[in-house]
Structure 1
Amino acid sequence: MKLLRLYELLLDLYGFQGWWPVDAYYHNLMGTDPRDEVIIGAVLTQNTSWKNVEKSLENLKREGELSLEFVRKVNLEGLKELIRPSGFYNQKAIRLKTVAEFINPTDRVKTLSREELLRVKGIGPETADAILLYAGERLSFVIDKYTQRFIKRFMNLEGDYHRLKNFFESNLPQDLGVYKEFHALIDEHAKRYCRSTPLCGECPLNSLCISASPSS
């Protein structure tokens, strides 16, 4: 099974996901940069669900401003309270401050190297790649826990982050749309069927999955 074929099958199943989600209306109204929302969200989503991140983003919109400029100027304790729903808020508030200072102005995200981002405290490979791909419009595939699980089950491939990243980038067309959508589609499929305890019996792709159990 070729990787691109898996992408096409997932796209047929779920359609375009339009990930990373941003509130374009809000940013147009406030004159803020939608890329800021991506960067903030990429930090907040570490070790938590997206639903919790959305609560923090709403707090920032309601009580402050959803921008890196606001993150830079708000006091640390105030920021902690606003992002509390995301969990690990003490740590994440400090990380957000550091990232907001580093990516200043936001346009820097178009030219920053991956290595530069990884030197920023609190930014690991997954966060760096999410920022590069979705905020910087750069060809850098994101490997998250869903992707690791999916590719292990469908292609019996496992390894460290960079081995899997290299596999995806070497076997996909160099296309931003494909990179963005494939990552989002894998996450969608993992949440619906390819869970930690998989729903193989219900999965529409089970006939193609190496690890699918007919009795599941």
Structure 2
Amino acid sequence: MTDSNVSLNTVFEKLLEFYGPQNWWPGDSPLEIMIGAVLTQNTSWKNVEKAIANLKEADLLHLGRLHETRPEELAEIIRPSGYYRLKAKRLANLIDHVMTRYDGDLKWMFSHDLATLREELLGINGIGPETADSILLYAGNLRTFVVDAYTARVLKRHGWIDWEADYHQIQDHFVSEVPAEVEHYNEFHALIVRVGNQFCSKKPKCEGCPLQCYLPESGISEPF
């Protein structure tokens, strides 16, 4: 049976049954999660792990020490993450904001209003919606849904949202349908990343996918 009008709550239950809880995002502290959110842009998590391991070895998982590190030095340390010079600048911009605006106090930072804090993050050079929402949800435990390439691909290929839908339209679609809870947003996004990585990459692999039964009868929905 196929059903392109399946609710997102049904999708969540199907993925949770198939994969189980994901316990995501990987990271031992809010700072490590924030760093990971910047470094994971345009690369695999495996490469991010190598870069974070380098930061740990250099004893740089500390806001103050990171703030004092020259971008050129930081770039070499995070080299495994790819685009390392650009990411070093973006990471430095983020750290500088936290140190300047919040005196390096992440607890104080994340105690602020979600909309205001999100706007602040988006104002930092190199921080886009996905990175900002990842920081807010996973590091700050704040109620915002993260949309990534997998999320867009899964929804559009199943015909659950228009191919023209942008980041905010996809985010609004989730927020309007699923329980507005940090834990639920966290788990749902993690499950989508899992199914996207395994089955719904740029070249789809539908056989064996837990969401295959929800594809339109005509098959994968594609843009005109």
Query: Which residue of 57, 64, 68 corresponds with 2:63?
Result: 68
Alignment of structure 1 residues 49-198 onto 2, 5 Å: 49-103=44-98, 104-107=104-107, 108-111=109-112, 113-158=117-162, 159-198=165-204
CA distance in 1, matches of 2:166, 2:62: 33
Q: With structure 1 as the length reference, what TM-score do the two structures score?
A: 0.89
Aligned partners of 1:191, 1:96: CA distance in 2, in Å? 25
Contact 1:17 1:185 in 2 (8 A): yes
SS of the aligned residue for 1:110 comes to coil
Please list, as runs of the form range in 1=range in 2, the aligned pairs for 1:3-18 lying within 5 A after superposition: 3-18=8-23
| Higher mean displacement: 72-81 or 124-133 | 72-81
Q: Given the alignment of the two structures, is residue 35 of structure 1 paired with residue 27 of structure 2, yes or no?
A: no
Tell me if structure 1 keeps the 8 A contact 2:52–2:78: yes
Unaligned runs of 5+ in 1: 24-33
Change (3 A) 1:131 1:110: farther
Listed one character per residue, the Cα deviations across residues 176-198 of structure 1 (whole Å, up to 9, x for unaligned) are 11100100100100111122211
TM-score relative to the length of structure 2: 0.86
* Higher relative contact order, structure no. (Cα contacts within 8 Å, ≥ 6 residues apart): 2
Percent identical: 46
**Distance in 1 separating the partners of 2:183 and 2:209:** 25
Q: CA deviation at 1:139?
A: 0.9
Counterparts of 1:88 and 1:96 in 2: how far apart (Å)?
12
Give, in angstroms, the shift of residue 76 of structure 1: 1.8
Give distance in 2, aligned partners of 1:150 and 1:110: 33
Instruction: Mark the runs of 5 or more structure 2 residues left unpaired by the alignment.
Output: 1-5, 99-103
Partner AA of 2:71 in structure 1: L
Task: Give me the whole-angstrom Cα distance separating, in 2, the residues matched to 1:130 and 1:122.
Answer: 14
